[in-house]
Chains A and B, each alone.
Chain A
């Protein structure tokens, strides 16, 4: 029998905030709302810690809370939207008669559900791989690659030389590439 998982809220923000944020942002597409939902999830997690049975990992448990928060958010915006009437006016005036077919042709540049799902899974796969890196490596790699900080800023922040930085980046990239190869390609 496996040992039950335990909760350690002190490490939540450090360990899971990026993962939860990434999970949320692909679903709500708004940074501020995503941030609020992640915050609410952590708070709700704290409040319901006594309900945690230890069957799932901390992250899975937090994700299940977050999912409920996202659904609540969808409900809220949908109830607002429901008040507005949606009307599709095809052939409203005689001049544009016949144009409706063109309007209905699928827009190849619009993102569809499949690409959205693929993107969200990709984001989570990357977060998974990032979580496997040593903490400092992961932070520096994220700053350089995702947040696009320049070399000098990162060097000053961590008090390292630029050759140190490039060694760290090299190790992180090698680890990330092989991890993504296993999990994604």
Chain B
């Protein structure tokens, strides 16, 4: 019980919170615990830094993918063409 309410969290929990906060899905209390953890944990500091950098890169508007339905319709068209070519 005591552990659950502790303000100190283990590294895996801290990293899990860090992942969640990249998608704005971490709660305030989780974020506070993460900040406390980051004060003394060098490994998680590095992890957070890398994670934030990755998010920044991924948010770039130029990184785009095809939507899955677009891919499906392309795949269907392509399969038709493929069978013609065989």
Which A residues fall within an 8 A CB radius of B?
A: 9-10, 12-14, 17-18, 21-22, 25-26, 31, 35, 38-39, 42-43, 46-47, 49, 119-120, 122-123, 126-127, 142, 144-147, 151, 166, 169-170, 173, 176-178, 180-181, 184-185
Contact = CB atoms under 8 A, between A and B. Distances in A.
Interface of A is mostly: helix
Given A9-B82, A144-B23, A25 B64 contact: yes
Given A144-B23, A146-B64, A176 B78 contact: no
Contacts, number: 94
B60 interface: yes
Interface stretch (B1-9, B35-43, B66-74): B66-74
A72 B19 CA distance: 43
A123 B62 contact: yes
B65 interface: yes
Contact of B74 (A9, A42, A123, A127): A42
Contacts of A166: 16, 19-20
A126 to B, nearest CB: 5
- The CB with the most chain A CB atoms within 10 A, among B57, B63, B67, is that of B63
B57 A184 contact: yes
